[in-house]
């Protein structure tokens, strides 16, 4: 009897797996707006994100720091003959906080939220003329987003969740960075 039940379970699983729709690959996080030309010879990136015990950046299809690096590559172009811009990622992390679950019989019938994710991006932009060690212009961008996920989310749903959370943060970052750079470095930018 146990063998028959085991074979029936295997048959059901193989049928379910064979009829499951194929997952669409996640679109890369890219920035198609026109790049900003910066009056410097070079744009440098520094990542100073601290290692935190509850960080889950490595689980992200596109970690926050990688998304910021892609933004710099897509949106900032060195268009000058001297000086340099330093883009310092002070923090680009995604922190996970496990949430309590409903206990007992009620918990069996309840779909709880599994964890809350809090993303943070703090990036400084400093422009140097190549002569002085003091920046001639600087700006800062700070973006944070948070969201929770259901405990019954599949691996594919979690991947999409992580991807969308970083994409939402980057959309906010893109707008805020453009605003701050125009405000504080406008004389060094062209479009």
Give the model confidence (pLDDT) of 25-70 as tens digits: 888 888 999 999 999 999 999 999 999 999 998 889 999 999 999 9
Query: Does residue 2 fall inside a structural domain?
Result: no
Query: Does residue 122 fall inside a structural domain?
Result: yes
Whether 123 contacts 69, CB under 8 Å: no
CATH number of the CATH domain containing 148: 3.30.160
What stretch of H or E contains 138?
strand 137-150
Q: CA–CA separation, 2 vs 5, rounded Å? A: 5
**What pLDDT is recorded for position 171?**
96
Which residues, in sequence order, are CB contacts of 161 under 8 Å at separation 6+? 147, 149, 153
Whole-prediction pTM: 0.82
Range of the domain at 65: 41-99+106-190
How many structural domains are present in the chain?
Answer: 1
Give the model confidence (pLDDT) of 96-119 as tens digits: 888 677 676 665 566 767 789 899
Query: Does residue 69 fall inside a structural domain?
Result: yes
Query: Does residue 71 fall inside a structural domain?
Result: yes
Query: Does residue 35 fall inside a structural domain?
Result: no
Q: Which residue has the higher pLDDT, 95 or 12?
A: 95
**What pLDDT is recorded for position 110?**
63
Q: CA–CA separation, 58 vs 162, rounded Å? A: 11
Query: Does residue 15 fall inside a structural domain?
Result: no
Q: CA–CA separation, 173 vs 65, rounded Å? A: 12
Show the tokens assigned to 134.
Answer: 């003091």
**What pLDDT is recorded for position 99?**
66
Query: Does residue 171 fall inside a structural domain?
Result: yes
Helix (H, G, I), strand (E, B) or coil at 95: strand
82 phi, psi to nearest 5 deg: -150, 165
**What pLDDT is recorded for position 175?**
96
Query: Does residue 8 fall inside a structural domain?
Result: no
- Average pLDDT over the chain, rounded to an integer: 86
- Cα 188 to chain centroid distance, Å, stands at 28
């Amino acid at each position: 009897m146990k063998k028959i039940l085991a074979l029936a379970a295997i048959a059901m699983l193989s049928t379910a797996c064979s009829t499951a729709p194929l997952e669409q690959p996640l679109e890369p996080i890219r920035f198609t707006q026109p790049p900003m030309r910066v009056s410097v010879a070079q744009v440098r990136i520094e990542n100073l994100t601290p290692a935190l015990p509850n960080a889950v950046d490595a689980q992200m299809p596109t970690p926050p720091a990688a998304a910021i690096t892609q933004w710099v590559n897509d949106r900032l172009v060195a268009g000058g003959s001297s000086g340099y811009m330093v883009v310092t990622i002070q923090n680009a992390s995604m922190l996970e906080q496990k949430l309590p679950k409903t206990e007992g019989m009620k918990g069996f019938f309840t779909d709880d939220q599994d964890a809350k994710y809090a993303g943070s991006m703090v990036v400084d932009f400093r422009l140097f003329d190549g002569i002085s060690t003091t920046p001639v212009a600087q700006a800062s961008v700070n973006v944070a987003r948070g969201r929770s996920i259901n405990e019954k989310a599949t691996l594919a749903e979690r991947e999409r969740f992580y991807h969308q959370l970083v994409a939402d943060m980057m959309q906010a970052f893109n707008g805020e960075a453009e605003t701050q750079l125009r405000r504080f470095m406008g004389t060094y930018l062209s479009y």
